[in-house]
Amino acid sequence: MDKTPHWHGLKHVKAVTSTEFMDGNSYKGILKIPLLFIVDLLPANSVFVHCIRLLDIMGAIVGLRVIREDQIKYLEDCLPKYEKYCITISHKHDKNFNYPKHHNLIHLLEELRAKGMTDNYSTRPGKGFQQEVQ
C-alpha cells in the first residue's frame, strides 16, 4: 500500500494495518487501490479477493451520477454473492458483519429505485453517532 503511486482524489494511507484512526474517506480510499495488489498478497481464489472485488463493483455502480435499471439488476445479482462471501469470512475468521452500514446494503436497491443517485444521501455523515447508537 505504501508503494502505491499518488494520484488526485486518493487518500494515500501508508500503513493500513497499523493506522489507529480511519474515517470513511480513508476506507473509501483503500477500496480504490487496485485489486491487483491484493491478489498478489492473498491465496488463490481467496474469499477476501471475491468480497473486495464485489465491493469495488457495487461501489462503482452506486457512485454513478445516473443509475439505470439494468445496473440496479446487476447489483441485485452481486448482493447475494457478496453476502455469501461475508458469511464464509465470518465463519472462518470470526469477523462480525453485524453493523449499521453493512445492514444498509439490504435497503440499497430500494433506496436507489426510490431516490436515485447516492450523492444526495449517505451513511457516512455523522459516523460518530453510530457508535453511540450501538
pLDDT digits (tens, 9 = 90+) for 70-83: 999 999 999 999 99
Which amino acid, one-letter code, is at 113?
R
Three-class HEC string of 70-122:
HHHHHHHHHHHHHHHHHHHHHHHHCCCCCCHHHHHHHHHHHHHHHHCCHHHCC
pTM metric for this prediction = 0.67
Max avg pLDDT among 45-49, 70-74, 89-93, 110-114:
70-74
User: Which triple of cell numbers denotes residue 29?
Assistant: 480510499
Q: CA–CA separation, 55 vs 71, rounded Å? A: 14
Q: Which long-range contacts (CB under 8 A, 24 or more apart) does 92-95 make?
A: 92/47
pLDDT in tens, 3-55: 777 777 666 767 766 767 666 667 667 766 666 677 778 887 888 888 888 88
The Cα–Cα gap between 84 and 22 comes to 27
Per-residue pLDDT band at 127 (split at 50, 70, 90): low
Every domain of the chain and the residues it spans: 1-33, 43-117
